[in-house]
Structure 1
Amino acid sequence: MLLVAYLFLWPVPIQPVVWAAPAAPGYVGPHAVNTKLANLQIIDLKGEVGPEHILFGADGKLYTTVASGNILRMNADGGGQEVFANTGGRVLGFDFDAKGNLIAADAVKGLLSIDPDGKTITVLTDKVGSDPIRYADGVVVAKNGKMYLSEASTRFAPKDWGGTFEASVLDILEQASTGRILEYDPATQATRIVAKGLAFANGVALSQDEQTLFVNETGKYRVWKIAVAANNLDVTQPNPQASVLLDNLPGYPDNLMRGLDGKIWVGLAKPRNPTIDKLAAKPWMRSLTLRLPRALWPIPKAYGHVFAFTEDGKVVADLQDPTGAYPETTAITETKDRLYVQSLHAHGLGWLPNK
């Protein structure tokens, strides 16, 4: 009796809403199963885990964020590793501005600027008006200096719910679509909402003409095109300034990275799970899930998958490892010689030759 009461009545932090999950396409067409991501070469990160975002700075060094909260700096081959900075929070995505400052989306602290020596850390913005930025995720800096930040959720802040993974699970289970894209203008120090209504707004990238943002909507398996000029646009309502570019993907899209020759790389951190899709129309069952031991949650299996697309939505490369040996792949950082594979929880930094 007590167990029944617990399963039915124990309070949970989410208020799930009904949504229509499209039928999973499986691994077909440009995403047909392959093993091109298997047998990666691994750079030892000396105990650090989860090189989630990787970027080269103007100094030619490779920078990556890791789960400990450190930002690491190293040579292209992994040598000369050092801790560049630690914000005291958890940096997810980052970019560099024209002055060489590292612009960091810190899931705990907001949008930060770290000087080229890694010594001075400045909070650029942590609010939109009086509303806190609760889950900064990705950021890209435009040539005009403006910064575009994805806020994954305005409901679940990692600092309040045990970390970034726990907060993401709550947001995606709830499906309240509170994620948004923000613009910060260093010239005016103003922060505005570009778009809102996204189910876990994640990776963000600029088009080559910098008039359009590409945005991952992780919770609904898709990638959007949103006009930079949009203002407080609700993407749940039809509007010519926003359209879905890639829909019904076979997994959860995480990061977006500009590659060579006009490509944009995206990683699918996890594959689709049939149980989760079946629960889309059953909000009460999603609440029940959180009353079960974590080991019984319908967490998708490990499956390595990254692909590249062009600005018109054509998939031009697809790399997979069905074994998931290198877990939770989030994107690719591409150089002329190498493809560095980003990951949420890998013990090491994977790479393969860029053939």
Structure 2
Amino acid sequence: MGVGGLLVATATYFCFWPVPAEPVSWVVQPPPGYVGAHAPNSLLSDLRKIDIGAEHGPEHMAIGPDGKLYAAMTSGNLVRMDLDGANQQLFANTRGRVLGFAFDAAGRMIVADAMKGLLAISPDGSVILLTDRLGADDPIAYANSVVTAPDGRIYFTQSSTRFGPADWGGTYEASVLDIMEQSATGRVLAFDPVSRETRIVARGLSFANGIALSADGRSLFVNETGRYRIWKIDSDANAVDVQNGSPKARILLDNLPGYPDNLMRGREGRIWVGLFRPRSPVADGLAGRPFLRKMLLRLPRSVLSTGAPYGHVFAMDEDGTVTRDLQDPEGDYPGTTGATETADRLYIHSLHATAIGWKPL
């Protein structure tokens, strides 16, 4: 094949080789940068570290009813330990990928497993399935985050109905396909443990992610990772399409400087948000160019730029006012996804860290 033929073949590949995503245009606001409440600081630098051995990626952490710290690792292991990191032990492994969990009134760990659906793990480590579909043709293919309500109801996010990690090579590949496509098929779901019915609370989210419950139980806070914003949605909403507008779903914080991941309630009314990396000017610039995004999906994933590491978590109140902001511009603790607050410590969640980072309060 001559040079001309090679060029034609290359152009044909980049323009026409099939990819599973069908990107659509969307409107992005100019990125605000790190200003105002998110002005640059180094308050997340020099974290203290808890060694976790061969584990890495403590993507989600929470304090259990036994007072122990629980962490979901990239390996699939759920690890339990004392608050200072001592006495680490394997609590359970779902044989899937746990991205979020919370504890119910009975002391069970309620798990959002990206591969398996919504699970319950008893204190002895035994695992049962609560739900993995809304109907015969409607699987819950990318459960992501979960919160339990005082009345027993369980609210959780499904990041995408288009791309499930079990079918597309894992959570990273599925998330890339979904966010690059921007078809906004993410949902907020509710499971009733009495009737065992699952219903749609809200839909139309571009990669629905972290979720938290208001103090009065009437509202849900939901991160929309693909569009850099946080929603406040009535917990009694029924299949509200957030793209069409509704008094039951309103944007609480918009145009964030990074991709929001986990949401965790802290002390004194705080809700902690993790931004796992800053926004990409390239990604923003391609919002109205779906054909170019489709071309990029034909490249090896290692070529796609994810930007320099940057640590960032912040706390807000239920009205969306940012009350604390902690950053690590050097990105020493990479892929910050959230924070778990105790009386004297703040544990920082991470997609990639090889230790658990924390700072005294």
Using structure 2 for the length normalisation, give the TM-score.
Answer: 0.97
Query: Equivalent of 1:148, from 146, 155, 161?
Result: 155
Q: Percent identity?
A: 58
Structure 1 counterpart of 2:219: 212
By how many angstroms is 1:306 displaced? 0.3
Measure the CA separation in 1 of the matches of 2:169 and 2:354: 21
Q: How many residues align?
A: 353
2:97 corresponds, among 90, 95, 101, to 90
* Shift, 1:117, TM fit: 1.1
Question: What is the CA–CA distance in structure 1 between the aligned matches of 2:225 and 2:308, rounded to whole Å?
Answer: 16
Match of 1:124 in 2: 130
1:225-264 correspondence runs (5 A): 225-264=232-271
Q: For residue 98 of structure 1, what is the amino acid of its counterpart?
A: A
1:168 and 2:175 correspond: yes
d(CA) in 2 for partners of 1:296, 1:350: 29
Match of 2:4 in 1: none
Matched with 1:54 is: 61
- The 3-state SS of whatever aligns with 1:276 is helix
2: CA distance, partners of 1:144 / 1:297: 44
- Name stretches of at least 5 consecutive residues in structure 2 with no aligned partner: 1-7
Q: Is the 8 A contact 1:304 1:329 kept in 2?
A: yes
Deviation at 1:49, TM superposition (A): 0.6
1:297 to 282, 297, 304: 304
Residue aligned with 1:54, SS:
strand
Whole-Å Cα distance in 1 between the matches of residues 252 and 307 of structure 2? 24
Residue 273 of structure 1: aligned partner:
280
In structure 2, distance between residues paired with 1:178 and 1:242:
16
Q: The residue matched to 2:284 in structure 1 has which SS?
A: helix
**Secondary structure of 1:223 counterpart:** strand
Give the 3-state SS of the residue equivalent to 2:128 in structure 1. strand
User: How far is the alpha carbon of 1:295 from its aligned partner?
Assistant: 3.0
Q: Is the 8 A contact 1:161 1:167 kept in 2?
A: yes
SS of match in other structure, 2:141: coil
Inter-partner Cα distance in structure 1 for 2:64 and 2:80:
9
Measure how far apart 1:339 and its partner are.
0.4
From 113, 117, 120, the counterpart of 1:110 = 117
Which residue matches 1:2? 9
Deviation at 1:32, TM superposition (A): 0.3
- 2:21 is aligned with 1:14: yes
Which deviations, in whole Å up to 9, do the C-alpha atoms of 1:246-273 show, x marking residues without a partner? 0000000000000000000000011011
Match of 1:194 in 2: 201
**Secondary structure of the equivalent of 1:281?**
coil
Could you tell me which residue of structure 2 aligns to residue 101 of structure 1?
Answer: 108
Paired with 2:146 and 2:35, the residues of 1 have a C-alpha distance of 31
CA distance in 2, matches of 1:89, 1:108: 5
Counterparts of 1:45 and 1:159 in 2: how far apart (Å)? 27
Contact 1:276 1:298 in 2 (8 A): no
Q: Distance in 2 between matches of 1:100 and 1:243?
A: 33
Secondary structure in 1 matching 2:156 = strand
Runs of 4+ in 1 over 4 A off after TM superposition: none
* CA apart distance, 1:129: 2.0
- Report the 3-state secondary structure (helix = DSSP H, G, I; strand = E; otherwise coil) of the residue aligned with 1:236: helix
The residue that corresponds to 2:341 in the other structure is: 334
